[in-house]
Chain A
Amino acid sequence: MRDGLRLATVATVAGREFWELASPSSHALAGTKLGGVSKSPFSTTEKQNTYDDVTHYNNYYEFGVDKTEPAKNAQTLKTYPWTVAIEGEVNKPRQITIDEILKLAPLEERIYRHRCVEAWSIVVPWIGYSFSALAKLVEPTEQAKYVAFETFYDRKQMPQAMYAGIDFPYVEGLRLDEAMNPLTLLCVGMYGETLPNQDGAPVRMVIPWKYGFKSAKSLVKIRFQKEQPPATWNRLAPDEYGFYANVNPTVDHPRWSQAKERRLGEFFKRETLMFNGYSDQVASLYTGMDLKKYH
């Protein structure tokens, strides 16, 4: 057993060095440089994943269910011009263009941990600003209790979507207080540039204390509303994917454990942290809630 471990360690070291040597990172889909980006106190100091990892290992089922497919297929996505409709329980419903979104608030770089429900994780330097800035623009009414997100869907641009086994357009939702938490990021870029298509261009959500599927990509509609909105994975298998989907090592997915995760680029698995390590900022949102029931 100890020999096995030693072998494993040797293999890791050799493997890692090799991968770094042989990495032919293609930046074909890299976006435009984003200027005037400030640092954020919410950033982690953990080692970031490579741009190549984050752009060639994606879950974006509209462009294929294999991790490597979105990098190849998402090039058909037309990300400009782009408008997002903001509607529902707001005083100032409106359409907002991607150019307006980029200028709405000062851009910040937020280096967040990102934990997938499939038990892998990455560290990504996202660029954007708190979603609350956008919410303030449209002034949610007293009636608004939830926010529903709808992502772009076009069968022509996304021919692989029909094999995904889920209904499109992809929809997600948050409670209003979750959406207004400063950690909740309206994201327009990463690694100093605009978002690559396969990572959810041109604008997406990033909610770092929840499993990745909550962070909807390529947003086209944001609706403030009274009732809890439907969410794609939750609708498909409610016992497996909760509406809240907070990262929680003590509540397993019915088919696999959530206690550990594999950080891409690392050999040994690491322990998964409660709320993905963001308890200080978000645990208070859920006081008194049974997190097993509301998983």
Chain B
Amino acid sequence: MRNLLISRWTKAGAFLICLLPLAFLSWRGLHNGLTANPIEFITHATGDWTLRFILFTLCVTPLRKLLRLPELIRFRRMLGLFAFFYGCLHFTTYIWLDKFFDLKEVWKDVAKRPYITLGFLAFVLLIPLAITSTAGWIRRLGGRRWQLLHRAIYISAVAGVIHYYWLVKSAVLRPLTYGAIVVVLLLWRLLEKSWSRPEAGRASPARSQPQKSQA
């Protein structure tokens, strides 16, 4: 299992799998599968996948601790960057296909429509995280500060879920499911912290170095 996880091929495979939603969307586009309102369909599909990849990213740390598979960390950056990638597609669809680059209109939307405001916030917060996702930036910022910065993804996740919730007319089941998953993932972090705290004093030498991989 470990060998499989650290194999370069596994990572390449995961990369391709992360591209599948886009491939599927393109395939639908070529086969008249985007419904009578393709712009809406693309907007919803890219939005869904942004949120899903944010959740996948947030799953990495709990999974790697619960399964005792530290190697899983190798996939976190990629998942996070794919969240940003689908977020870019989602944002581009909105600003181009929905608003036709009418920036005044976009700004009015962001200021006036709470669900747009939150979606915009969720997306904007991902930008610095994507930029500072490299090893060089981790070094430059220092593990602790880097980690603090990257906690912004928690806000993105929550804002993303509310953005979805405020958008639907009555079918709240799906946004609430995403919300429940976010709550579980964030709650786990809080609890995990309080469980590990008493030991923290004793285990201080071991604590100092793996810090940065803990968002």
Binding site for B on A (CB under 8 A): 1, 4-5, 8, 15, 18-19, 22-24, 49, 52-54, 56-57, 61, 65, 67-68, 118, 120, 163-166, 233, 236, 255-257, 262, 264-265, 267-268
Contacts and interface: CB of A to CB of B under 8 A. Distances in A.
Contacts of B114: 255
B100 A57 contact: no
Contacts of A57: 35-37
B38 interface: yes
A256 B167 CA distance: 9
Contacts of B101: 1, 4-5
User: Top 4 A-B pairs ranked by shortest CB distance?
Assistant: A165-B170, A57-B36, A53-B36, A65-B171
A267 B32 CA distance: 16
A67 B171 CA distance: 12
Nearest to B173: A163
B191 to A, nearest CB: 31
A163 B37 CA distance: 23
Contact of A67 (B30, B37, B97, B173): B37
A23 B172 CA distance: 32
Contacts of B192: none
Contacts of A255: 113-115, 166-167
Q: How large is the interface on B (under 10, 10 to 19, 20 to 34, 35 or more residues)?
A: 20 to 34
A189 to B, nearest CB: 20
Given A53-B36, A56-B36, A163-B173, 8 more contacts: A49-B36, A57-B37, A61-B170, A65-B170, A68-B35, A166-B170, A255-B115, A257-B109
B171 A164 contact: yes
B31 interface: yes
Given A8-B100, A262-B37, A264-B37, A19 B32 contact: yes
Interface in B125-171: 166-167, 169-171
A234 B68 CA distance: 52
A166 B36 CA distance: 25
Contacts of B31: 22
B49 to A, nearest CB: 16
Contact of B113 (A24, A163, A256): A256
A212 to B, nearest CB: 12
Nearest to A21: B32
B6 interface: no
Which of B32, B40, B96, B115 has the largest count of A CB atoms less than 10 A from its CB? Answer: B32
B96 A22 contact: no
A184 to B, nearest CB: 24
Interface of B: 30-32, 35-40, 96-97, 100-101, 109, 113-115, 166-167, 169-173
Contact of A23 (B32, B97, B170): B32
B32 A22 contact: yes
B38 A15 contact: yes
Contacts of A65: 170-171
B35 A56 contact: yes
Contacts of B100: 4-5, 8, 268
Contacts of B39: 262, 267
Contacts of B40: 120, 262
A8 B96 contact: yes
Given A4-B101, A120-B40, A22 B171 contact: no
Given A4-B101, A15-B38, A255-B115, A165 B172 contact: yes
B113 A265 contact: no
Nearest to B30: A22
Contacts of A23: 32
A236 B36 contact: no
Nearest to B44: A66
Which of B39, B101, B169 has the largest count of A CB atoms less than 10 A from its CB? Answer: B169
A265 B38 CA distance: 9
A214 to B, nearest CB: 15
A265 B36 contact: yes
Contacts of B32: 19, 22-24
25 contacts: A4-B96, A4-B101, A5-B100, A5-B101, A8-B96, A8-B97, A15-B38, A22-B30, A22-B32, A23-B32, A57-B35, A57-B37, A67-B36, A118-B169, A120-B37, A163-B171, A165-B170, A233-B169, A255-B113, A255-B166, A255-B167, A256-B113, A257-B109, A264-B36, A265-B36
